[in-house]
Structure 1
Amino acid sequence: MRTLYPDISPYAEYWLDVDSTHRLYVEESGNPSGIPVIFIHGGPGGGTSAAHRSFFNPERYRIILFDQRGCGRSTPHASLENNTTADLVQDMEKIRDHLNIDTWLLFGGSWGSTLALAYGQAHPERVSGMILRGIFLCRKQDIDWFYQQGASALFPDYWADYLQPIPVDERQNLLQAYYQRLTSDNEIARMAAAKAWSIWEGRCSTLHPNQDIAQHFGEPHVALAMARIEAHYFYHGCFMRENQLIEDAGKLRDIPITLVHGRYDVVCPIEQAFALHQVLPHAEFNIIRDAGHSAFEPGITDNLIRATDRFARQQA
């Protein structure tokens, strides 16, 4: 089993103004002359961490991490203003242009796979390859599964905690109820909703319970951005037309793609990866039989690092 590459530090950090409101944190590590790869984090609203650099051989890759609008080290924190999928796609283009990169490898999981697909469909000529994990298509059925009914049957104990901030008479539309609280001026209600929303996701992200991941999702700074921005996107249909990523998949037919998905992914059930593979049959599709959603589950980490190593060899 392959494990993460050793920890490394950035050799460059930037704060990039992308409009009059938002300032993004961007960093580079690894080999400045290596294969450009952009790590696209999940959420939306999740932010990056030092461990995200370690999916790539630092001798072969120029590793670019950035925090999307409103999360991580980007400012203003948890902001919903001018925060849409189209804005994030444009931000990636601004980063690519700022760093003088012609084409780059897209590496993303969960919402990161969503944004990678949206970016690739908008700018296929800028994509050298895609390695995608925990595919999330952002269809209504995918959002309802995790936030209204579906995953609730597999984790009823965790679901009870998720329901707790919402009165019984509002539970017929939990996304709307959460969105109202997460965008309200009531700071106490907003934070209670944020923690319940985010911890629900963290608890469901691994096949075996992982207290460290659950605690990370519950940290106030993380939870507020994650919950507010996710609810904002999901309430507005991720600012895409329904089934857009499947309907426009043909634009990616000439791009090397690897799909990695845990068989027991409860956050983003494997049907989503299967549906994407049906319209992208040239993509390599790896089902990890003993894993859920998280990139840090052993089988998924192993597969992702094998994919980045293989891509590097093919580019030699």
Structure 2
Amino acid sequence: MTGLYPELETYRHGMLDVGDGNEIYWEESGNPDGKPVVFLHGGPGGGASPRHRRLFDPDRYRIVIFDQRGCGRSIPHCGDPAADLASNTTWHLVADIERLREHLGVDRWMVFGGSWGSTLGLAYAETHPDRVTELVLRGIAVLRKKELDWLYGGGAGMLFPENWARFLEPVPVERRGEDLIEVFHELLYDEDPLVRTTAALAWSRWEGEVLKLLPSQEVVDAFSDPGFALAIARIENHYFRHGGWLEEGQLLRDAGKIEGIPCVLVQGRYDVVTPATTAWELKQLLPGAELIIVDDAGHAFDEPGTLHALVGATNRFAD
């Protein structure tokens, strides 16, 4: 099996109160007696999808998926301008994962995360290495300044100039030389709803346009949905302007804490969102990790070569 498994229904789901007025949606599918795995979605703020269940053999895995604070089916939803992001940080999410593990009665589990989910997966594993059996990470990011500058400072825009021009449209011409993450923060919280929505759509669409090796109108349309765009733009901007509440390079610096955990890193060669250099640097710090660079892939998890590597890793770890 190297593609997605067949469509799968949940056998249990619920809402978990994680404090600070937040409740997170969680679900379980697959085999209740199988190997536990927790799936960490991207963004931050992207939310989980039924397709994510299909990365795991349902006969062998107890598949746990949840929507992180503020997005998906969790409440309050950050598409609401009144939603407060003060208690939505990397370390709140790490604590949420532990609270969910305890709530579900899981002793140890495999952690699977892509894009922002790889960042969160590393943060969780370095904080709770005794709770992690294996790591499968895709599109590796650790939120260093150079990674954020690449995507929001014009580096990636040199490959996609027409898309970058659309991204810049809501930004006043005289401010386009400033820190664009900060400028977008102002726009996303402007008093004028039209300004907020226009900025959110520009932010979200930019990511959707550069996700795949070849453009996908379906992906762009999904990222252009106003409700989705408002949530992901606000949450991503909130995290990125704070550097994920991580010291510069912290997750690489502390990689030794997870050295004994079996780890597979899957990275698209032409990933514009999270360039391959970070996966390469992490591999140098984790000699026992397996790094799979997919030569015909961008950032998305469902590109054929990436999907083959991810499902291959989950199948091997199932045993």
Q: TM-score, normalised by structure 2?
A: 0.97
Which one of the candidate residues 296, 304, 310 is aligned to 2:316?
Answer: 310
What residue is the counterpart of 1:215 in the other structure? Answer: 221
| Pairwise CA distance, 1:2 | 1.7
| Pairwise CA distance, 1:52 | 0.5
Which one of the candidate residues 164, 169, 176 is aligned to 1:171?
Answer: 176
Aligned pairs for 1:135-174 within 5 A: 135-172=140-177, 173-174=179-180
| Pairwise CA distance, 1:191 | 0.9
Aligned pairs for 1:46-125 within 5 A: 46-78=46-78, 79=83, 80-125=85-130
What residue is the counterpart of 2:9 in the other structure? Answer: 9
Name the SS for the 1:157 alignment partner.
helix
Alignment partners' CA distance in 2, 1:299 and 1:226: 27
Letter in 2 for 1:225: A
Letter in 2 for 1:84: T
Letter in 1 for 2:149: D
What residue is the counterpart of 1:286 in the other structure? Answer: 292
Letter in 1 for 2:294: I
The answer to whether structure 1 residue 243 and structure 2 residue 233 are counterparts is no
Which one of the candidate residues 180, 187, 190 is aligned to 2:193?
Answer: 187
Alignment partners' CA distance in 2, 1:162 and 1:169: 15
Alignment partners' CA distance in 2, 1:96 and 1:167: 46
Alignment gaps of 5+ in structure 2:
none
| Pairwise CA distance, 1:19 | 0.5
The 8 Å contact of residues 20 and 87 in structure 2, kept in 1 or not, is answered as: no
Alignment partners' CA distance in 1, 2:26 and 2:191: 31
Alignment partners' CA distance in 2, 1:7 and 1:184: 41
| Pairwise CA distance, 1:296 | 1.0
Indicate the percent of aligned positions where both proteins have the same amino acid. 52
Alignment partners' CA distance in 2, 1:170 and 1:233: 21
Aligned residues: 313
| Pairwise CA distance, 1:217 | 1.1
Name the SS for the 2:212 alignment partner.
coil
| Pairwise CA distance, 1:54 | 0.3
| Pairwise CA distance, 1:20 | 3.4
What residue is the counterpart of 2:136 in the other structure? Answer: 131
Alignment partners' CA distance in 1, 2:140 and 2:316: 20
Name the SS for the 1:242 alignment partner.
coil
1:7-63 alpha-carbon deviations (Å, 9 max, x no partner): 111101110010031110000000000000000000000000110000000000000
Letter in 2 for 1:7: E
1:183-242 alpha-carbon deviations (Å, 9 max, x no partner): 333221111111110110011010011111111111112111110000000001111111
Name the SS for the 2:149 alignment partner.
helix
Name the SS for the 2:113 alignment partner.
strand
Alignment partners' CA distance in 1, 2:302 and 2:192: 35
Kindly report structure 1 stretches of 4+ aligned residues shifted beyond 3 Å: none
The 8 Å contact of residues 25 and 67 in structure 2, kept in 1 or not, is answered as: yes
What residue is the counterpart of 1:26 in the other structure? Answer: 26
Alignment partners' CA distance in 1, 2:274 and 2:20: 34
Name the SS for the 1:55 alignment partner.
coil
Alignment partners' CA distance in 1, 2:190 and 2:59: 47
Letter in 2 for 1:260: V
Alignment partners' CA distance in 2, 1:116 and 1:269: 18
The 8 Å contact of residues 122 and 251 in structure 2, kept in 1 or not, is answered as: yes
1:156-191 alpha-carbon deviations (Å, 9 max, x no partner): 010010000001111122111101111333221111
| Pairwise CA distance, 1:283 | 0.3
Letter in 1 for 2:251: L
Alignment gaps of 5+ in structure 1:
none
Q: TM-score, normalised by structure 1?
A: 0.98
Name the SS for the 2:133 alignment partner.
strand
The 8 Å contact of residues 2 and 308 in structure 2, kept in 1 or not, is answered as: yes
Alignment partners' CA distance in 2, 1:153 and 1:244: 28
Name the SS for the 1:255 alignment partner.
coil
Aligned pairs for 1:252-263 within 5 A: 252-263=258-269
